């Protein structure tokens, strides 16, 4: 049972004027394999409240669409496979995937939607928040694969506190408890519980630092996402 992962913790709301911060990019070599080197292109991280409406469309380096908004009022383009991280309501923390784009959520439910070119056909599936154990990545502390399809990888980051990762292929991430800091080049952007980050260029190396409290986040990424400690 993983309900405790989504319990409220003191200090989750960002203090005034602390939506982002500047700090050095982590460069430690902590895992069994070296992390990917910094990329010349920046990830292009934007941070949004879970209740906001936002979108980043498909680009040359980004064959996917990220959308944040209420179910039923957020158009999901046809011809794509879709995944959704539920951000409000009784199903908060669930992940829903539909190869044909038919995401079934109560109207008005806040969700992070990710659309990508459809691969092999499959059936709609759902990962309940009580089933977020997933599969560990060898030698990578605090990162687990919840699902992998021809269109997506679904990842869980955290706990433990203060873990650091280098990721290539991350498209978007929703933080449920604690805080993650995503490094957009040299600039660190804090993503608190109740916020979502969208990455404009998933081909860039993205460094992620967990906060000193227990951070738990669900990310949507490329099928062949690369995760290393770093």
Question: Could you read off the pLDDT of 38-83 as tens digits, one per residue?
Answer: 999 999 999 999 999 998 876 666 778 999 999 999 988 888 899 9
| 14 or 214: which leads in pLDDT | 214
Q: Per the structure block, which two tokens stand in for 111?
A: 């969700």
pLDDT at 121: 62
Task: Kindly give, in sequence order, each residue whose CB lies less than 8 Å from that of residue 16, ignoring residues fewer than 6 positions away.
Answer: none
Closest CA to 135 of 164, 112, 156, 160: 156
The separation between CA 182 and the C-alpha centre of its own chain, rounded to angstroms, equals 11
Instruction: Classify domain 20-50+130-229 by CATH number.
Output: 2.60.120.10
pTM (2 d.p.): 0.85
Q: Tell me: the pLDDT tens digits for 100-127?
A: 767 889 999 999 999 988 876 666 689 9
Query: Does 173 sit behind a cis peptide bond, omega within 30 degrees of 0 on the bond before it?
Result: no
**What is the mean predicted confidence (pLDDT) over 158-185?**
94
| 117 or 18: which leads in pLDDT | 117
Q: Where are the domains of the chain?
A: 20-50+130-229, 54-127
pLDDT at 5: 55
Q: Tell me: the pLDDT tens digits for 196-214?
A: 999 999 999 999 999 988 8
Return mean pLDDT, the chain.
84
Residue with tokens 């967990």: 210
């Amino acid at each position: 049972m993983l309900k405790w992962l989504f319990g409220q913790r003191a200090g989750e709301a960002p203090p005034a004027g602390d939506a982002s911060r500047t700090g050095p990019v982590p460069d430690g070599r902590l895992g069994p394999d070296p992390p990917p080197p910094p990329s010349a292109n920046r990830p292009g991280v934007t941070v949004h409240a879970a209740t906001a409406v936002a979108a980043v469309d498909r680009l040359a380096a980004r064959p996917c669409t990220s959308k944040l908004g209420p179910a039923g009022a957020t158009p999901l383009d046809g011809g794509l496979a879709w995944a959704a991280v539920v951000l409000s309501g009784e199903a908060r923390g669930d992940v829903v995937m539909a190869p044909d784009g038919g995401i079934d959520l109560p109207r008005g439910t806040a969700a992070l939607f990710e659309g990508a070119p459809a691969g092999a056909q499959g059936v709609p599936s759902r990962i309940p928040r009580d089933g977020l154990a997933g599969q560990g990545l060898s030698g990578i502390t605090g990162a687990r694969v919840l699902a992998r399809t021809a269109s997506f990888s679904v990842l869980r980051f955290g706990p433990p506190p203060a873990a650091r990762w280098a990721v290539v292929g991350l498209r978007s991430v929703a933080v449920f408890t604690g805080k993650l800091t995503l490094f957009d080049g040299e600039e660190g952007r804090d993503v608190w519980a109740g916020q979502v980050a969208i990455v404009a260029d998933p081909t860039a190396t993205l460094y992620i630092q967990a906060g000193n409290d227990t951070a738990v986040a669900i990310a949507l990424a490329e099928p062949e996402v690369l995760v290393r400690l770093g």
